[in-house]
Structure 1
Amino acid sequence: MKTAIAFAAMTALLLPAALSAQNAADPVFTPAAMRAHVEFLADDLLQGRDTGSEGHEIAARYVASQFDGLGLKPAGDNGSWLQRITFQKTEFDKTPATLTVTGPAGAKSFTHAGDVIVGINADQPHLDVTAPLVFVGYGLENARLGLNDYAGLDVKGKIVVTLRGYPKGLPSEEGAHLSATKGKIAESHGAIGMIAFNTLQSAKARPWARMVQFADEPDFTWVSPEGVPFNAAPGLRASAMLNDPAAQAVFSGAPTTIAAIRKTADKPGGKPKGFALKTGVTIKADTVSQRVTSPNVVAILPGSDPKLKDEYVVLSAHLDHIGVSAAKPGDAPDKDRINNGALDNGAGIATMLEVARAMAEAPDKPRRSIIFLASTAEEKGLLGADYYARHPSVPVRQIVGNVDLDMPLLLYPFTDLIAFGADHSTLGPIVAKAVAPMGVTLAADPMPQETIFVRSDHYMFVKQGVPAVFLATGYANGGEKAWEAFLGGAYHHPGDDMSQKIDWTAGARFAEANYRITRAMADGDAAPLWYQADFFGDTFAPTVSKAAKP
C-alpha cells in the first residue's frame, strides 16, 4: 500500500469543522469521514497496531486527539485520555514443547504445532506435568441447562480430556459462555490440566490447519495495579489441543472410539458420557515472560439530564490488531506481511469516532453520559475491555449498557444488522426500533458455530452485569457471501487493508445506525434492563431489577 498517513490525518481533522452545521435530529455521516479515519489507522506506518507496539501507541494518540478536538472529557489515568495497562507477555523458549502419550500401545510423542498445540502457562516457565487422563465429554456443568458432565467422575490431580464446543441444540450464546468457562469448571473439580479435541462440527468451524497458523502466538494477560497477573484458572497447570493422530493415541484402549463419540456429539442434544482413559500424558514446555504496556483510550461526553447524567452508556471498539506476520521460508523479500486491520477494527474505531462527533456537535446532547472506549489487546483475549470493565472510569453499577463495534464488514450495502446478545435484555427492542427508520432489520446470529458472543469486548461488560450487544453487518443482500469470503481470506491477514473494495457509503450508514442506537439508549426514560429469568442476567446481575420479556 502507499503511505497516505499525512493526507488521512489532515482530512480527518478538517472533516468535523466541515460538518458542524448538521441537524441534531438527523446528523450527517459521510463516506469520506469514515474513509479518512480508516486510512490513517490502516496505514503501513502503524505496522498493524499490535498490542504494546509503537504503531498502536500512534493510533491511541490519534484517537485521543480526535476526542480532544470534539471537546470530550478525558477519562483515563490521572486526567489523561489513556488508561495505561501492564500486560504479561509469555512466549515459548527455544526448546519445542511436547506432549507424550503413554498407555497400552506404549509411548508416543508429539511436538507443538504438529498434531498438538501446547498451551502457554506463564505461571509454569518450566512446565513438566505427568498425569492420568479422564474423558469428560464436553466438560460442561450447569444445573439450569441440565449439564453435568463430571457426574460420577474422579478427576482430582488428573488431566481432563474434553470435546470442543457444546452440545447441539444448546442456545449458542449460553453454549459459547459455558465453553469459555471449561477451565474453571475443570479446576473446581480438582483437575490439574485440560486437553481438547474436535467434534465434527467444531472441525468445520475451525479446521486444524487454521488453528496451527496461530499456535506460536504469545500469550497475554493483564497485570493488576498491585502487580499480580490475572489467571482465570490458576489450578490448571497444563493445557493442549489435539489433532486426530494425537487424539487417537489418547483414546488407545478406550471402551468407546473417537468416531462413536463424535457420532453421538453430532446428534441434537448429544452428550457423550465420560470415563477414565487407559492413558496418561506428559506435557513439557519452557517459556519466557516479559512485561509490556499498552493503553485503552477513554473519553466521556457528559449527559444533559440532571437526573440521568450519572448513568453511563459505553460505546466501545478495539483499536489493536495483530501486527506484522513473521517471515516464512521462501517468502519474497518484498512480501507484504503487515496485517493492517482496516476492517478489523479500523472500521469499528472510525464508526465510534463519527458517532462521538455527531453527539458532541448536536445542540441537544444525550440525556445520559456516554463513555467512548477504544480498547487495547482485544486480539489477545479481550484483555483491554476486561481490564476496563473491572477498573472503569466510573463505578460499574452506573454503567447501564454497552454497544461494541468490532469488524463491521463494509464490503456490501447491508440491509440488516446482527446484534449478538440482543435476546437477553431490552437492548434488543431498543436496537430494532432505533434502526427501523433506516429500513434496517435485526437478524438472529447466523453463525453460532463461531461462538462470537464470547469473542468480542462486549462479553467483558456482560460478565460485570452490564446489558450489552455486539453489532455487526448482517447476512442479507450479499452479506453471507461477503462474510464467508472475508473469514476465509483477508481476516487476520495482510489482505485486510485499503486495497479491498470497501463500501464507504455502507460505512457512513453503519455509523448512522450506531448513532441512532446509542442515542436511544442514552435518551430513553428507562435504562436497558436484563429480562426476567435470563441466563446472563441471572448469572451476572442476580439482584438488579429485570424487565418482563415480550
Structure 2
Amino acid sequence: MISSYRSTLLAAVAALCLTPSGLLLAHERQEGGAAPAAAAPAKPVIPEDQLPLDPRFSPDRVKADIAFLADDLLQGRDTGSVGHEIAARFVAERFASLGLKPMGDNGDYLQRIGFQRTERLTAPAAVTISGPGGSTSLVAGVDSTILLGADEGKLDLTAPLVFAGYGLEDKALGLNDYAGLDVKGKVVVLLRGFPETLPSEAAAHLLSERLKTAQDHGAIGAIQIDTDASAKQRPWARRLMYGFQPNFTWVGPDGKAYDDTPGLHFSVGTNDNGAQAIFAGASRSLAQIRKEAARKGARPKGFALKTSVQIVATPVRSMTSSPNVVAMIPGSDPALASEYVILSGHLDHIGVTPVQPGEPAGTDHINNGAMDNAAGVATMLEVARILSQDKVKPRRSVLFVASTGEEKGLLGADYFARHPTVPISKIVGNVDLDMPLLTYSFNDVVAYGAEHSTLGRIVADAVAPMKVTLAPDPTPEEVIFVRSDHYMFVKQGVPAVFLATGYGNGGEPKWHEFDEKYYHQPGDDMKLPFFWRAGARFAEANYRITKAMADGATPPLWLKGDFFGNIVAPNAPKADPAK
C-alpha cells in the first residue's frame, strides 16, 4: 500500500521490492526494518453483544454492500475491468440515492482517469555489464528485471556506473549518500533497504523518493542490488515472481503519462550474477560492501566503478481507463463550508488469477476482495447514509472518495490528490479505509500515522464513547503509514491516517490468519466468518471520526517538529505535541 508512478513503479524493482501493483503487500515486512515485537499474553475476549452500537448503523446494510461488491459477477474489480465499472456505478447510485452532491467530472459522480499499461520486459530486452572482467549479459527474467520510464520509447543506452550506497539524502537526518560523487549522465548502483538505525517511516519515505533523488543529481538510470539482509528477506526467486506483471501510471488531462522522474530512462534489478559483474575491478569488492552494510548503522560510501551498462529494450504499452467515485455532503457552517474533510477507500481489487498448469478442476480464480476493500467501501457508504440523514449537517464539507488503481500503486488517490475537484489547499484532513478485518469483535483501532498530526487525538476522542481505544501501530516495521491511499494526500500536505481494526480482543491471531490464508487470494470472499455487527460498529467509529474532523473548531494539524509535516507542509500551522 505507497507512492507516485516513478517513485513507486521504478522502486517496484528497487528500493522496497514492491509487488507488481507497485506496493508492498500490506503486511509484508519492510526491508531494513526491525523484527516485530513478541505477542502480548492473551486477554479474555469481550463478546460482540457487550460492545455498544448506535442502532442507526445497520449490520445488514454493511453485509448487503459487501456482498454485492464481492460477488463473482464483478470478477475481482480489477482496474479498467467491466467488474470495476459495475462497482463504480453501484457506489455512484448509492451516493445519488442518499442525495449527495456529485463531485466527479461534468456534474457526475465519476472522475474518469486514463491509465497507461506497460508490460514488463523480457526478450528482446537485454542488459550487458562491461568492464575489466569482460562483458556479462543479464538475462531478463533470470538475472534481471527491467522497467522503462513512462514516456521512454525504444531504448539503446550505454553509460558508466557509479555506486551511491543506499542513495539516501536528507539534511535533517544527516544523510547525503551523493557527497563527493559525480553521477551526471551516469547510472547509479544502489543497495536495497536502509540502515537499521534510521526511523522506519522516515526511511520508507526516503526510499520511495530516492530515484527522484538520483535524477536530481543528474543520474539517467538506476540498478539495484541486494545486501545480505535484503537477499535473506526477499530471495531473488521471490522477486522474479512479481517481476513481470504489468505496471500502470495515470494519464493527465494533457494526455501525458505521469512520470515524476522523467530524467531516469530505466531501472534494473539484478541478482548476484549482475552484482558481481558490476563490481569487477572496483576499489572495494561487493563482499566488502555487503560486510560493511551488515554492521548496525553503517552506510557504505559511494565511489566510481570501472564498469558500464548497456540496456536495449522496447516498451509494449496499451491504454485503459477507470473512474474514481466522488460525492459530497456540503458543510452547514458558512465560515467552514469551504474546507473539506475526506473519507476515502479504494474500490478496486486484483481481478482474476490466471489458471496454473496442472491445478485441480474447479479451482477458484476470482479474487473477490471482500475485506480488501469491499469492507472499506461498505463502511464509507454506511457513514454517508447516516451523515446524510442527520438533521444537523457537518460544519465542514465532507467528501467521499472511492478510488481506483490502489492495487496498481495508489494511482487513483494520487490522481485525485493532484487533480482534486475542490482546491487542494482547502482539504484539511483525510481518513482512509482499507481492509478493516471484520472477523472478530474489535475493541481498538489503529490509525496508521496518528503520531504525526492531531488526527491521533481526534480519533482517540471520537471512538472513546464506543469503548474503543486507539492502539499504537502493532507492526511499525511494516511502515504501513506510507503504503496506502491516504499517503497520496499526505504528499500534498494534508494530515491523514489509515484506519483499521486493531489487534485487541483476539484480533491479532485473526489478522495473522487472514494475511497467511486470504490476503490477495480468492479466499477473501463472503465465505469468511464475518461479524456483521462489528462492520456496523466500524462504520459508527468512522462516522464519529468524520464528524469530529468536520465539526472541530480547529482542523487537523501537523505536529510541530514532525518529520512528515516539515517535509510536506513546512509553512502550514502546526500543533504543539504536548497539548
TM-score by structure 1 length? 0.90
Partner of 1:470: 498
List gaps (5 residues or longer) in structure 1.
Answer: 1-24
Q: Quick one: structure 1 residues 93 and 185, their matched pair in 2 at CA, closer, same or farther if it must change by over 3 Å?
A: closer
Mapped contact 1:530–1:547 kept (Cα < 8 A): yes
Q: 1:404 is aligned with what amino acid?
A: D
Q: Write the deviation string for residues 470-508 of structure 1: whole angstroms up to 9, x where unpaired.
A: 112223344343334433442222222223233333322
Partner of 1:507: 535
Partner of 2:321: 293
List gaps (5 residues or longer) in structure 2.
Answer: 1-52
- Please report how far the alpha carbon of residue 96 of structure 1 lies from its aligned counterpart in structure 2 after TM superposition: 4.8
Q: 1:230 is aligned with what amino acid?
A: Y
Aligned mates of 2:122, 2:146 — CA distance in 1: 14
- Please report how far the alpha carbon of residue 44 of structure 1 lies from its aligned counterpart in structure 2 after TM superposition: 1.3
Moved more, 222-231 or 72-81: 222-231
Mapped contact 1:155–1:189 kept (Cα < 8 A): yes
Q: Could you say what the CA RMSD is over the residues aligned between the two structures, in angstroms?
A: 2.2
Moved more, 270-279 or 355-364: 270-279
Aligned mates of 1:500, 1:216 — CA distance in 2: 31
Aligned mates of 1:143, 1:154 — CA distance in 2: 19
- Please report how far the alpha carbon of residue 437 of structure 1 lies from its aligned counterpart in structure 2 after TM superposition: 2.4
Is structure 2 residue 432 aligned with structure 1 residue 404? yes
Q: 1:369 is aligned with what amino acid?
A: S
Pick from 521, 526, 531: which aligns with 2:549?
521
Q: Write the deviation string for residues 359-394 of structure 1: whole angstroms up to 9, x where unpaired.
A: 112222212110000011111111111111111121
Aligned mates of 1:101, 1:330 — CA distance in 2: 38
Mapped contact 2:132–2:280 kept (Cα < 8 A): yes
Moved more, 146-155 or 402-411: 402-411
- Please report how far the alpha carbon of residue 279 of structure 1 lies from its aligned counterpart in structure 2 after TM superposition: 2.8
Is structure 2 residue 398 aligned with structure 1 residue 370? yes
Q: Quick one: structure 1 residues 458 and 278, their matched pair in 2 at CA, closer, same or farther if it must change by over 3 Å?
A: same
Aligned mates of 2:226, 2:478 — CA distance in 1: 14
- Please report how far the alpha carbon of residue 451 of structure 1 lies from its aligned counterpart in structure 2 after TM superposition: 3.2
Q: Quick one: structure 1 residues 457 and 533, their matched pair in 2 at CA, closer, same or farther if it must change by over 3 Å?
A: same
Instruction: Describe the SS at the equivalent of 1:195.
Output: strand
Q: Quick one: structure 1 residues 485 and 224, their matched pair in 2 at CA, closer, same or farther if it must change by over 3 Å?
A: same
Partner of 2:189: 161
Pick from 39, 48, 51: which aligns with 2:76?
48
Aligned mates of 1:347, 1:198 — CA distance in 2: 37
Q: 1:453 is aligned with what amino acid?
A: F
- Please report how far the alpha carbon of residue 251 of structure 1 lies from its aligned counterpart in structure 2 after TM superposition: 3.0
Q: Write the deviation string for residues 515-549 of structure 1: whole angstroms up to 9, x where unpaired.
A: 11111111111111111222222222222221111
Pick from 114, 125, 133: which aligns with 1:105?
133
Mapped contact 2:122–2:140 kept (Cα < 8 A): no
Pick from 334, 343, 353: which aligns with 1:315?
343
Mapped contact 2:79–2:405 kept (Cα < 8 A): yes
Q: Quick one: structure 1 residues 408 and 260, their matched pair in 2 at CA, closer, same or farther if it must change by over 3 Å?
A: farther
Is structure 2 residue 457 aligned with structure 1 residue 457? no
Moved more, 429-438 or 251-260: 251-260
Partner of 1:130: 158
Q: 2:209 is aligned with what amino acid?
A: T
Q: Which has the higher contact order (CA 8 A, sep 6+)?
A: 2
Mapped contact 2:102–2:109 kept (Cα < 8 A): yes
Counterparts of residues 392-471 of structure 1 (less than 5 Å): 392-471=420-499
Aligned mates of 1:509, 1:168 — CA distance in 2: 39
Instruction: Describe the SS at the equivalent of 1:379.
Output: helix
Aligned mates of 1:549, 1:460 — CA distance in 2: 24
Q: Quick one: structure 1 residues 200 and 363, their matched pair in 2 at CA, closer, same or farther if it must change by over 3 Å?
A: farther
Mapped contact 1:27–1:358 kept (Cα < 8 A): no
Is structure 2 residue 187 aligned with structure 1 residue 188? no
Is structure 2 residue 567 aligned with structure 1 residue 546? no
Moved more, 539-548 or 348-357: 539-548
Aligned mates of 2:293, 2:537 — CA distance in 1: 42
Q: 1:514 is aligned with what amino acid?
A: N
Pick from 301, 306, 323: which aligns with 1:278?
306
Mapped contact 1:202–1:449 kept (Cα < 8 A): no
Pick from 249, 261, 264: which aligns with 1:236?
264
Aligned mates of 1:180, 1:71 — CA distance in 2: 40
- Please report how far the alpha carbon of residue 333 of structure 1 lies from its aligned counterpart in structure 2 after TM superposition: 5.1
- Please report how far the alpha carbon of residue 204 of structure 1 lies from its aligned counterpart in structure 2 after TM superposition: 5.7
Q: 1:467 is aligned with what amino acid?
A: P
Aligned mates of 1:167, 1:327 — CA distance in 2: 40
- Please report how far the alpha carbon of residue 413 of structure 1 lies from its aligned counterpart in structure 2 after TM superposition: 2.9
Aligned mates of 2:424, 2:171 — CA distance in 1: 28
Q: Quick one: structure 1 residues 205 and 410, their matched pair in 2 at CA, closer, same or farther if it must change by over 3 Å?
A: farther
Aligned mates of 1:252, 1:488 — CA distance in 2: 41
Instruction: Describe the SS at the equivalent of 1:78.
Output: coil
Aligned mates of 2:197, 2:470 — CA distance in 1: 22
Q: Quick one: structure 1 residues 288 and 528, their matched pair in 2 at CA, closer, same or farther if it must change by over 3 Å?
A: same
Mapped contact 2:120–2:146 kept (Cα < 8 A): no
Pick from 231, 239, 244: which aligns with 1:216?
244
Instruction: Describe the SS at the equivalent of 1:153.
Output: coil
Mapped contact 1:101–1:107 kept (Cα < 8 A): yes
Partner of 1:15: none
Aligned mates of 1:228, 1:309 — CA distance in 2: 34
Mapped contact 2:169–2:213 kept (Cα < 8 A): yes
Is structure 2 residue 99 aligned with structure 1 residue 83? no
Mapped contact 2:121–2:244 kept (Cα < 8 A): no
Aligned mates of 1:501, 1:375 — CA distance in 2: 26
Q: Write the deviation string for residues 289-313 of structure 1: whole angstroms up to 9, x where unpaired.
A: 2221111000001122222111110
Moved more, 297-306 or 239-248: 239-248
Q: Quick one: structure 1 residues 123 and 353, their matched pair in 2 at CA, closer, same or farther if it must change by over 3 Å?
A: same
Moved more, 319-328 or 44-53: 319-328
Partner of 1:390: 418
Q: Write the deviation string for residues 90-124 of structure 1: whole angstroms up to 9, x where unpaired.
A: 21467353333333333332333323221243322
Aligned mates of 2:360, 2:198 — CA distance in 1: 47
- Please report how far the alpha carbon of residue 253 of structure 1 lies from its aligned counterpart in structure 2 after TM superposition: 3.8
Pick from 198, 210, 225: which aligns with 2:226?
198
Aligned mates of 1:153, 1:54 — CA distance in 2: 50
Partner of 1:12: none
- Please report how far the alpha carbon of residue 509 of structure 1 lies from its aligned counterpart in structure 2 after TM superposition: 2.4
Q: Quick one: structure 1 residues 50 and 436, their matched pair in 2 at CA, closer, same or farther if it must change by over 3 Å?
A: same
Q: How many residues align?
A: 526
Q: 2:75 is aligned with what amino acid?
A: Q
Mapped contact 1:341–1:496 kept (Cα < 8 A): yes
- Residue identity over aligned pairs, in percent, reads 62
Partner of 1:11: none
